[in-house]
Structure 1
């Protein structure tokens, strides 16, 4: 039984790299790149844009004690830029503006340049 297990063992001397046929020109890519696709259909996918004023982590017990007239201090100072989130992910920062009697936002900075291109 020990003789058969010895015959199945790997021996690195048995490897012969000359048996492999390698490509002569290794500088060219081994794949053909696909042509660029028109991705303009992504521009019509709806997303949710949220302007977050501020936030605060509060213990549930403290929140249950809150009632009418209670004040919960938030983590932003007056005048600081607000967070703009797209589908919950931070996109950038903005300030509140009023346009035609409706609230709007004016972008101050954009965190991800690829996401900003979607709004152009």
Structure 2
């Protein structure tokens, strides 16, 4: 069953047969699905994430020999003057300065100054 089809007969078959292809019409691009992206200014998504808030009173460097000689009546001098604002840190990054207050028998912090670094420092 070898039958030879000439080029002209082949073209006639293609032109007469409806293959459902539209050669001249451009293919319509499928619309991109809408992706829900959080607004960079909308931080409500992060509002329930827990963070570690600590109050750093002061610090100092002590030789290990001196630390080994400490007993229950020892006093370690710190590098901050009495009455100076204390450092409030969030996940280890400086967030604010504050003073300690007592409210209903519990300690609290009164924020006196924000660090101004914003949330960018907290992500490090």
TM bracket, shorter-chain basis: 0.5 to 0.7
- Greater radius of gyration (CA): 2
Residues 1:43 and 2:44 are matched in the alignment:
no
The equivalent position to 2:97 in structure 1, one of 93, 96, 100, is 93
Alpha-carbon offset, residue 85 of structure 1: 0.6
Q: Which residue of 2 aligns with 1:3?
A: none
Give the structure-1-normalised TM-score. Answer: 0.62
Q: Which runs of 5+ in 2 are unaligned?
A: 1-34, 120-124
**TM value normalised by structure 2:** 0.60
Which structure 1 residue ranges, 5 or more long, are not aligned? Answer: 1-33, 116-120
Alpha-carbon distance between aligned partners in 2 of 1:53 and 1:65, rounded to the nearest angstrom: 23
In the other structure, the counterpart of 2:116 is: 112
Equivalences, count: 82
Contact 2:58 2:79 in 1 (8 A): yes
Return structure 1 stretches of 4+ with deviation > 3 angstroms.
none
